[in-house]
Amino acid sequence: MDFRLDRLATLYVASPMQRLGFGGRNSIPILMYHGISSDSENAAHPYYRTITTPSIFAAHMAYLREHGYESITPAQAANRVTNKAEDDLSKSVVITFDDGFLDFYTNAVPVLNQYGLTATMYLPTAYIAESRQSFKGKQCLTWSEVRELAKQGISFGSHTMTHPQLYNLAQPAIRREVTTSKQTIEQELGHAIESFAYPFAFPEADSAFRQMFRDELSQAGYSDGVCTTIGRADNKNDKFFLKRLPVNSCDDNRLFAAKLAGAYDWIAHPQYLAKLGKKWAHSVRHQGS
């Protein structure tokens, strides 16, 4: 079994501290799923896996229903946390999926319907077409399936066109990725698309990039967004970069419950320090060249 420092610290340090009254901010968990399938990820450490088996996903959705959670959209979450709502947000949850995989349609949606929950799917539009396309070796949704799901209440957002490392792109290329993907989805669905999901690690340690990217999203017409910074969304979040909680097959109900309650939020701090270190090393290399 892989050693999991994040699990041990969450269950045996952060969770007990929460029970003592530490870290109890009014927050909304935004769950980040990718593939829902039985594909093997045994070569990857549990922290880095992105696949959730159908049985584990069903257990997660059953847990949400049994514990009274209400599934809401990213826009609703952004509104509640940025307006500093006084209401108790502890039973609100946002269920998100990245990458537009077909197994969302075949394996996730029936379970969501079974438990009366809904979700938001973020599409990389270069891999969504009328005929079946593939991304990362997995089959993707077609536009006809996207339209069908939209009629069922599934919401959609942009995940760029080609899923690039945006941090490495020039600003005009970034603008094309965020605007063209939005326009494409709007043309296919016939209504405004307002939410964006940042692909790959979010560079929150680079304040200049973050402000530039925020401006691009705002100018493109987005109203909210999510990123890969770990934690629950609260009123300290920028509405364009709401934090999320990664979920995969290694999340049994005990760890899943701890993530929902905020006991996994601690990991954002070492994650941020690591990104600061990378930013510093990057600047040193460029100064010396």
Q: What is the pLDDT of residues 167-191, one digit of tens each?
A: 999 999 999 999 999 999 999 999 9
**Cα 188 from chain centroid?**
23
Q: Is residue 230 part of a domain?
A: yes
Question: What mean pLDDT, rounded, does the chain reach?
Answer: 93
Cβ neighbors of 140 (< 8 A, separation 6 or more) are 99, 100, 101, 102, 127, 128, 132, 133, 134
Q: In terms of pTM, does the model score above 0.85?
A: yes
In DSSP notation, 193-242 reads --EEE--SS--TT-HHHHHHHHHHHHHHT--EEEEEEES-B-TTS-TTSE
CA distance 73 to 217: 18
Cβ neighbors of 58 (< 8 A, separation 6 or more) are 111, 114
241 neighbors 227 (Cβ within 8 angstroms) = yes
What pLDDT is recorded for position 121?
A: 99
CA distance 96 to 155: 9
What pLDDT is recorded for position 276?
A: 86
Q: Is residue 272 part of a domain?
A: no
* Residue that is written with structure tokens 């999340």 in the block: 251
211 neighbors 219 (Cβ within 8 angstroms) = no
Top pLDDT among 101 and 283 is at 101
**Rg, Å, the chain Cα set:** 19
In the predicted model, is pLDDT for residue 84 greater than 70?
A: no
In the predicted model, is pLDDT for residue 289 greater than 60?
A: no
Task: Name the residue range of residue 159's domain.
Answer: 23-36+72-245
Q: Are strands 224-230 and 242-246 parallel, antiparallel or unpaired?
A: parallel
What pLDDT is recorded for position 113?
A: 98
CATH of the domain at 197: 3.20.20.370
25: confidence class by pLDDT, cuts 50, 70, 90: low
What pLDDT is recorded for position 26?
A: 82
1: confidence class by pLDDT, cuts 50, 70, 90: very low
Instruction: Give the whole-number percent of the chain exceeding pLDDT 70.
Output: 92
6 neighbors 47 (Cβ within 8 angstroms) = yes
Mean pLDDT lowest among 79-83, 97-101, 153-157, 232-236: 79-83
Q: Is residue 253 part of a domain?
A: no
Give the sign of the dihedral formed by CA 214, CA 218, CA 242, CA 60.
Answer: negative
**Cα 73 from chain centroid?**
12
Top pLDDT among 225 and 88 is at 225
Q: Which tokens in the block code for residue 239?
A: 């509405």
Q: Is residue 50 part of a domain?
A: no
Per-residue model confidence as pLDDT tens digits over 46-79: 999 999 999 999 999 999 999 999 999 999 999 9
127: confidence class by pLDDT, cuts 50, 70, 90: very high
What pLDDT is recorded for position 122?
A: 99
Q: Which tokens in the block code for residue 198?
A: 């940042």
Over residues 248-264, mean pLDDT: 97
Over residues 74-99, mean pLDDT: 87
135 neighbors 99 (Cβ within 8 angstroms) = yes
> What 3-state class would DSSP assign to 1?
coil
Q: Is residue 119 part of a domain?
A: yes
Top pLDDT among 284 and 206 is at 206
Cβ density class 86-117: b for 16+ within 10 Å, e for less: eeebbebbbbbbbbbbbbbbebbbebbeebeb
19: confidence class by pLDDT, cuts 50, 70, 90: confident
121 neighbors 97 (Cβ within 8 angstroms) = yes
What pLDDT is recorded for position 18?
A: 83
130 neighbors 140 (Cβ within 8 angstroms) = no
Query: Which range scores top for mean pLDDT: 24-28, 89-93, 109-113?
Result: 109-113
What pLDDT is recorded for position 20?
A: 77
Over residues 141-160, mean pLDDT: 98
245: confidence class by pLDDT, cuts 50, 70, 90: very high
Number of structural domains found in the chain: 1
Residues in the chain: 289
In the predicted model, is pLDDT for residue 263 greater than 90?
A: yes
